[in-house]
Amino acid sequence: MLVAVSGGPDSTALLLALAADGNTVGAAHYDHALQPTSGLVAEHVGTLCRRLGVELLIERRDRPLPHGSIQAAARTLRYDFLERARIRANADVVAIAHTADDVVEGVVLHLLRGCGLAGLRGMPARRGVFVRPLLAVWRREVVDYLDQRGIEPLEDPANSNPAYARVRVRLDILPALERDRPGIVQRF
């Protein structure tokens, strides 16, 4: 199994949990080269993998992003890399660290974009060679898991940038729903 590791809390916790369970895992990190500190993030991921004895495959974006949404273009390049890394590592699957929070945020985004009923399904636990073992785990649980182990993950500044619709859902819409209907987010 290959674990996609960004250096953030979710992927760090997923790598730790899978490695601790005695699974044979490798890690893959795609450096989007979108921020001046992206090289430091790759170093952080490398340090974590060396500490765990996990082989790491890294690739840095070396060409311009395709036109359109930066997030969509970066995602396409990242998944293309993950597929190449999976083949190189001879892994059956790539584990992606999406959590229950990501599912809720995605469903709300789909609703806001007028998705119809099809968009209410959320993310599949598996799509081809990509698996998402943390879909039933909340981000707060991930943070607690890391805190208990004294692990300090990195936080991507883009995750708090309100220029992105997903961040506005996370920081504005979901908290407003929770204030009006406590516990609603966990019932999604």
Q: Which secondary structure element, helix H or strand E, spans residue 130, and what is its range?
A: strand 130-131
Average pLDDT over residues 58-86: 91
Instruction: Name 20's bridge partners.
Output: none
Query: For residues 18 and 47, is the Cβ–Cβ distance under 8 A?
Result: no
Nearest to 137 by CA among 19, 9, 50: 9
pLDDT at res. 161: 87
Domain 2-100+123-156 is found in CATH 3.40.50.620:
yes
pLDDT at res. 122: 85
Rg for the chain (alpha carbons), in Å?
17
**What phi and psi values does residue 89 have, to the nearest 5 degrees?**
-85, -5
* Residue pLDDT, tens place only, 78-135: 999 999 999 999 999 999 999 999 999 999 999 998 887 877 888 999 999 999 999 9
* Residue pLDDT, tens place only, 121-172: 889 999 999 999 999 999 999 999 999 999 988 988 888 889 889 999 999 9
pLDDT at res. 120: 81
Torsion of CA 100, 102, 105, 106, to 10 degrees: -110
Average pLDDT over residues 6-26: 94
Q: Which secondary structure element, helix H or strand E, spans residue 112, and what is its range?
A: helix 100-112
Average pLDDT over residues 55-81: 90
Instruction: Name 4's bridge partners.
Output: 28
pLDDT exceeds cutoff 90 at 44: yes
Structural domain boundaries in the chain: 2-100+123-156
Query: For residues 10 and 97, is the Cβ–Cβ distance under 8 A?
Result: yes
Tokens 């952080």 identify what position? 44
Q: Does the pTM of the predicted model rise above 0.85?
A: yes
